[in-house]
Amino acid sequence: MRRKLAARLGCVAAILFAVIGSVPPAHAWQANVNEVHTYYVPGPPPGSYLSACYVDSVNGVFGRPFAQLQTYDNAWSDCMIGAVTVVYLRDGVLLNGPKVPDTPGGRAGVSTAPHPGSLVGANFEACNLYWSCWYWQTSPFG
């Protein structure tokens, strides 16, 4: 029953992400470049367990700027869906990489800049099974 409900909620959440994807992040903090951070959203680590959404995130440069988000659905976390977008600077123009969803407890979402550039940060979003959603941003530090 819970899996069927989660599947239906996942479809609705995907539609909501498409509709409200342009909402600016409500929370921002600095994250070390190329370092994985584990926390309850929206961070900064350790975050608040009250969100019931535990994630790993990283923003960094490996040839090109990238950002990654992994949400979890387990005994400590009830994340339903998440997405990530890398933000980078190229030739003086601020650009966004593709918005990439993740699968809770499965495949991480990785947004990679299609062009070389300077890392500016990452935009993240995640929702838990209780329909609480968070939008946050990290900027590079170090």
Q: Which of 24-28, 29-33, 82-86, 116-120 has the highest mean pLDDT?
A: 82-86
Structural domain of 18: 2-141
Note the pLDDT tens digit of each residue in 36-66: 999 999 999 999 888 999 999 999 998 899 9
The total number of structural domains that make up the chain: 1
Q: Is the pLDDT of residue 6 over 80?
A: no
Q: Which CATH number belongs to the domain containing residue 7 in this structure?
A: 2.60.40
**In the chain, which ranges are E strands?**
27-32, 37-40, 54-62, 64-71, 73-74, 77-90, 93-96, 100-102, 109-112, 118-128, 133-141
pLDDT of residue 22: 44
C-alpha angle 110-113-118 in degrees, rounded to nearest 5 = 120
Query: What are the pLDDT digits (tens) for 10-36?
Result: 444 444 344 334 444 457 899 989 999
User: Percent of the chain scored above 70 by pLDDT?
Assistant: 81
DSSP 104: T
